[in-house]
Amino acid sequence: MFGRRQDKDNKPVFIDKEQLDADYEEKLKQLDRDEQKFAKEQKKADELIQQAEEVRKKQEARRLEIDEQRLRHEAEEAKRKAKKDAEALSKNPQPKEPAPLVIAPVDSDSLGAESEPPVAPREPLVIPPVSESSTPVPDATENVVSPVIGSSPSIFFRTPWSKTEKPLHGLSMNGYAGDVHCDAGTFGKIASVGATLRGLKHQVPDKASGAAGQNEDWFSTFCAVSADGAKYVVSVVCDGLSSASYSWYGARRTSTLLGRDVAAGIALLTEVNSRTLQSVVDNSLAEQASTLMTWNALEYGAPQVAPSEVDPVALGCTVTLAVVCADPDSNGSHAIVAGNVGDSPVFNLSKGAWRKVSPPDIDSGDILDTKTHAFPRHTECALVDDVLAQGECVLMTSDGVGNFILRNGMTLALGGYLSTRWNAPIGVLTFLNQLNFDLTTADDDRTAVAFWPA
């Protein structure tokens, strides 16, 4: 006898070694059979996943093709309508507007004011005519319709933002939602408008708290004057990493301090290009990385937690810099300097075609490579020189916009849409409206800063 075990009545039952060995071998064989069955099921599941991925890729390619066709159709329809309106106008010209009413200045001699000192002649006061056919201007904040880049509006654009049952647009718990941040204006001979919008995925409230996230993008724009009096516009776009808990703070801090440091560095230079600016950018990023973890939790805009409790990687963000000379050269072109830490791109739009200025494409297949360098772990920012010519646009973006403009040299649906709208300066509200495009797969925060020769 080898041992014993208890039966169902709790009585000992003696078994021999051969029986134990036989039971062990049977269990081992059963485990082998289970493993083989699991391997077959796993292989089948992998095949189904691969098939589904192939179908998804085909569907995505088909969707992009349909979007391109729709945009071309809309462009042709717009041209046809414009031609039809022009023909109708030529057949039925509008009545000539009345001439402006001119009120001539009163001659002081006619009033007998001989004792008064002579008064300089005044220009006539011109009152512009008011057309009887004028119509009230609609309230743009209520009537704008964001462009739909796709076959139909997404659920976000079909659902009122004020809906409280299963809401899709929540406030942020920490008070820094950042739904809209915008700067626009001119400096020298450059016109610029920039904006950042909170992405859809950061608008959906958390089920536990009922509050939503915040915009993890940010940008800043500064004016600068070099030592020899040349004018420059400096802009920095930062895109916080989604995996970093406090990237929103890293993006706001880094974009502001780098823009400030570059503007201050330009003031000391007589020649501004990628070579002379490289040390300015390197020193600024190194200084920011070394002082990043020094905030006070009570400071305005800072994380409400002690720096000692946070990993620096939790503040990670990409960095994109553009410096645009606001004084054109003899050909009317403006020198620019651009650089990146990470993958947020800078584009040039010329004659309806997009060209990536910086950084070079890192993806080679159908799926984007999401691996990216980010500050503060990486501070290397290689600068390049480029040119902004008359009739062109230089556009800085976070990847929430840039990923849908150009892919491996191919213009995507959004790129085609914006190429005919951002090729010249546009109104601020129009820019915001078009940046708020509706594209189902574009749920990240969106930032774009555009420059045009004024």
Whether residue 140 is contained in a domain is answered as no
**What is the predicted pLDDT for the residue at 48?**
83
CB atoms within 10 A of CB 416: 18
412 and 266 inside one domain: yes
CB 346 within 8 A of CB 405: no
Whether residue 88 is contained in a domain is answered as no
Whether residue 302 is contained in a domain is answered as yes
- Does residue 403 register a pLDDT over 90? yes
> Which of these three, 32, 53, 68, is where a domain ends?
68
- Does residue 421 register a pLDDT over 70? yes
Whether residue 143 is contained in a domain is answered as no
CB atoms within 10 A of CB 358: 22
Q: What is the CA radius of gyration of the chain?
A: 32
**What is the predicted pLDDT for the residue at 173?**
84
If you ran DSSP here, which 8-state letter would residue 161 be given?
T
Residue with tokens 């910086």: 358
pTM summary value: 0.68
Q: How confident is the model at residue 174 (pLDDT cuts 50, 70, 90)?
A: confident
> Which of these three, 44, 68, 92, is where a domain ends?
68
**What is the predicted pLDDT for the residue at 115?**
44
Whether residue 311 is contained in a domain is answered as yes
**What is the predicted pLDDT for the residue at 5?**
55
**What is the predicted pLDDT for the residue at 378?**
94
Whether residue 147 is contained in a domain is answered as no
The mean pLDDT of 61-88, rounded to a whole number, is: 75
15: containing domain: 3-68
Q: Can you say whether residue 36 is alpha, beta or left, with left for phi > 0 and alpha for psi between -120 and 50 degrees? A: alpha
54 and 167 inside one domain: no
- In tens, the pLDDT along 120-149 reads 554 444 444 444 444 444 333 334 566 888
CB 218 within 8 A of CB 257: no
43 and 177 inside one domain: no
The mean pLDDT of 204-211, rounded to a whole number, is: 89
61 and 168 inside one domain: no
Q: How confident is the model at residue 89 (pLDDT cuts 50, 70, 90)?
A: low
Cis omega before residue 303 (within 30°)?
no
Q: How confident is the model at residue 11 (pLDDT cuts 50, 70, 90)?
A: low
**What is the predicted pLDDT for the residue at 263?**
98
With b for 16 or more beta-carbon neighbours within 10 A and e for fewer, the 125-151 pattern comes to: eeeeeeeeeeeeeeeeeeeeeebbbbe
Structure tokens at 12: 């000992």
165 and 37 inside one domain: no
Structure tokens at 324: 């645009």
202 and 53 inside one domain: no
Total domains in the chain come to 2
42 and 185 inside one domain: no
Whether residue 253 is contained in a domain is answered as yes
**Amino acid occupying residue 10:** N
> Which of these three, 27, 43, 68, is where a domain ends?
68
3-state DSSP call for residue 236?
A: strand
What CATH number did the domain enclosing 352 receive? 3.60.40.10
Whether residue 280 is contained in a domain is answered as yes
Structure tokens at 48: 């189904």
**What is the predicted pLDDT for the residue at 134?**
42
When comparing pLDDT for 82 and 191, which is higher?
191
CB 449 within 8 A of CB 221: yes
